[in-house]
Structure 1
Amino acid sequence: MGINLVKGQKIDLTKGRSSLSGVMVGLGWDPVVKEKKKSGFLGGLLGGGGSAAGAEIDCDASVILLDEKGKLLSKENLVYFGNKTSKDGSVVHSGDNRTGDGDGDDEVINVNLSAISPSVHKLVFVVNIYQAKQRKQDFGLIQNAFIRLVDSGSKEELIHYNLTESYAGKTSLFPGELYRHGSEWKFSAIGEGTADLDIGSIANKYL
């Protein structure tokens, strides 16, 4: 069982773990259970009825790889569903989960710590709602969000961070970040929400 973190807590991942060369980062969330609509059989059964607000909530996980000055030097260092591998090949996105239904990780990102370019000093993890404005959705419609890190070799869960705050009105979420500290890698539990609408606008802030 991994260490359960709280917001703002930092933990050294590699100290005392000489064999840790990579981590699997799992991100998960569940849609808030909505009452079925009373009007129309199909509308109630599918929970959508064709309305934007009733559409499935499609959360997308991304990683922004930054240099020591906190800058994104290349668009190839933005890893998301449209670019699943970082420039140096160290970060690989497993693909897009469009509903968040079911137990366990909804999206998985594999990080090969030993292969990360020396120019990369921080990995920022982001989750945003696809077409949040058009669908009139925000993280108030999401529950049980978490981020966890697992040793890629031993499959041991190292840390688990449940995001328990209310993020109503927020359309993007920063669960946590991996960063260099000398020769070691640390993880920081961030848990901040913003009103950014897409990963492109978020990434532009780091240029």
Structure 2
Amino acid sequence: MAISLQKGQRISLEKDNGSSLQKMCIGVNWGAIEKRGFFGRKKMEAVDLDASVGIFADNGQLLDVVYFGQLKSKCGSIVHSGDDLTGDMDGDDGLDNEVIQIDLNRLSPRASQLAFVLNSFRGHDFKDIPFARIRIYEGSPEYVSQEFARFDIANDAAFGGSVSMIMGKMYKHNGQWKFNSIGQPTRDAKLEQTLTTFARECA
């Protein structure tokens, strides 16, 4: 059964049989914004969020970035499914809008942290986005074999003015990979700025 994470919670990437999770997918899902049009009719406004991964070394140095403009890491260990431009237009369908595949065995030995961030391409405020979710599972972008953990973020007035979100990070501790659910909104308009904030405040 998948672990439902709370903000700030840390877990080891260990399966029920005691083996470590080495190949996984990080699925990211988010909702479109519901608005009222003429005569009170419901209208859905597309939300273009961009899920990205920053690969960091021990000293906080950014080694590589996987995002909609570079769908594969230089070491070949991380592959992005591509850009989703709308979010869930018909409400939460439970499916991922963007999926990031990770093979920790192929990751550069210099890498010690993976930062998972969301940026609003059109500048939508995170207080208006109904939900954002990140989940870790075994399988492929088309098929979920076993869901390992998920971290849900509901819209919150406290997010006002924030157009990006540091969802979480994977980090190596004593040779083992762990996951930390962060859920920190930022006002960074660009991916580069969000990753700089991560390195300064969350690495």
TM-score range, shorter chain: 0.7 to 0.9
Contact 1:14/1:184 (8 A) holds in 2:
no
Q: Provide the secondary structure at the position in 2 that maps to 1:95.
A: coil
Q: Which ranges in structure 1 are unaligned for 5 or more consecutive residues? A: 48-54
User: Structure 2 matches for 1:36-51, cutoff 5 A?
Assistant: 36-37=37-38
Q: Provide the secondary structure at the position in 2 that maps to 1:202.
A: helix
Aligned length: 189
Are the structure 2 counterparts of residues 46 and 10 from structure 1 closer, same or farther at C-alpha, using a change threshold of 3 Å? closer
Alignment pair present for 1:121 and 2:140: no
Out of 151-160 and 19-28, give the one that drifted further.
Answer: 151-160
Runs of 4+ in 1 over 4 A off after TM superposition: 44-47, 204-207
CA distance in structure 2 between the aligned counterparts of 1:200 and 1:37, rounded to whole angstroms: 39
Larger Rg: 1
CA distance in structure 1 between the aligned counterparts of 2:151 and 2:42, rounded to whole angstroms: 34
Alignment pair present for 1:172 and 2:145: no
Report the AA paired with residue 25 of structure 2.
M
CA distance in structure 2 between the aligned counterparts of 1:189 and 1:112, rounded to whole angstroms: 20
| TM-score where L is the length of structure 1 | 0.82
Contact 2:7/2:183 (8 A) holds in 1:
yes
Give the structure 2 partner of residue 34 of structure 1: 35
Higher RCO (CA 8 Å, separation ≥ 6 residues): 1
CA distance in structure 2 between the aligned counterparts of 1:163 and 1:46, rounded to whole angstroms: 22
Deviation at 1:165, TM superposition (A): 5.5
Aligned-CA RMSD value: 2.4
CA distance in structure 1 between the aligned counterparts of 2:126 and 2:195, rounded to whole angstroms: 20
Higher strand proportion: 2
CA distance in structure 1 between the aligned counterparts of 2:52 and 2:43, rounded to whole angstroms: 28
| TM-score where L is the length of structure 2 | 0.84
Match of 1:142 among 119, 129, 142: 129
Give the structure 2 partner of residue 92 of structure 1: 79
Q: Provide the secondary structure at the position in 1 that maps to 2:192.
A: helix
Contact 2:131/2:155 (8 A) holds in 1:
no
